[in-house]
Amino acid sequence: MTSVLYDAPGPVARRRERWGSVIGSVVVLVLLAVGAVAAARNGVFDADRWDVLYDPPKQTAADVWRSLLVTGLGATLRAAALAAPLALALGVALAVWRSTRLRALRIPAVGVIELFRGVPVLLMMFFALLALKLSSFEAVVFGLVVYNMAIVAEILRAGLAALPKGQAEAAYALGLSRPQTLFTILLPQAVRLMMPSLVAQMVVLLKDSSLGFIVGYQELLKVIQNNSYFYGNNYAFALFTVGTVVYLTVNLSLSWFARWLARRTSAQGNPEAVAEAAQRPGTGPGADAGARPV
């Protein structure tokens, strides 16, 4: 069995991969153990370094958790919730602009996409904050939108390029115009084909929102930093641990959704995969009927 880009590994290669995985896992566990021992020697795991989460010295525990989960995480999700649909909408517009047949119109679209793909997100946030005089929230949204819309446009362009040319030719043979063919036939299929990549890019957008603390936006990372200043650096490890868990929970949930979507779309787009799934026990059309005879 072969893949599109490489041959499937044989028995020797699979054995080497297993040994490599075992050795790598052992190395990682050793490093984690060394780090845990060093942290324990520095008193990181002492109870008085964690009581900020359940018995803080200056406020109540509810105030701490409210600042982390309501103020901080809420601000992070609010920026991502506004930037994501804007980036998707503008990315679709850029992809349509990029796919035009007129070279004079296509070249500027390529320039816009390549410009915003190559500019760091933080630089665009500073540009919006200092040059455009936007607020910190608006600067964060601006930076996230202009960068991710270029990435979304390239993802959709790749999806359009992956579609069979016969579909467009058949649409033209039926008398459909170029815009009708693009918006009713090609673009919906490209979105469906590249949906896992689009969701993965939204995960990147959510993580990039943490850059907002540099421009003064009170998102989760900034709130953690403020709490560590307020309660003292002894509590920084506990607060950043909570922030890490929150980020991992949100991002891993989105990543899980992207993987589930990838499996679903690949199965729907592959007749052999659909037939194989239908033959599995409990997944066929009569799965709900149990063992009753037909």
* Stronger pLDDT, 75 or 254, i.e. the higher one: 75
Walk me through the domains of the chain, giving residue ranges and CATH numbers: 60-270 (1.10.3720.10)
- Sort 217 into a burial class: Cβ within 10 Å, 0-12 / 13-18 / 19+: buried
> What is the per-residue pLDDT for 288?
40
> Other C-beta atoms within 10 Å of 246: how many?
17
Per-residue pLDDT band at 51 (split at 50, 70, 90): confident
Tokens of 41: 């020697």
Instruction: Give me the long-range contacts of 251-259 (CB less than 8 A, separation at least 24).
Output: 251/203, 251/206, 251/207, 254/199, 254/202, 254/203, 254/206, 255/200, 255/203, 257/199, 258/196, 258/199, 258/200, 258/203, 259/196
Residues 6+ apart with CB under 8 A from 238: 49, 50, 52, 53
Q: What is the pLDDT of residues 141-179, one digit of tens each?
A: 999 999 999 999 999 988 888 888 888 888 888 888 888
Residues 6+ apart with CB under 8 A from 206: 76, 77, 80, 84, 250, 251, 254
- Name the percent of the chain lying above pLDDT 90: 35
Tokens of 160: 């359009």
> What is the per-residue pLDDT for 233?
84
pLDDT at 140 over 90: yes
Q: Please state the rounded mean pLDDT for residues 9-22.
A: 85
Residues 6+ apart with CB under 8 A from 78: 137
Reported as type and span, the H/E element at residue 204 is helix 195-208
> What is the per-residue pLDDT for 280?
46
pLDDT at 121 over 90: yes
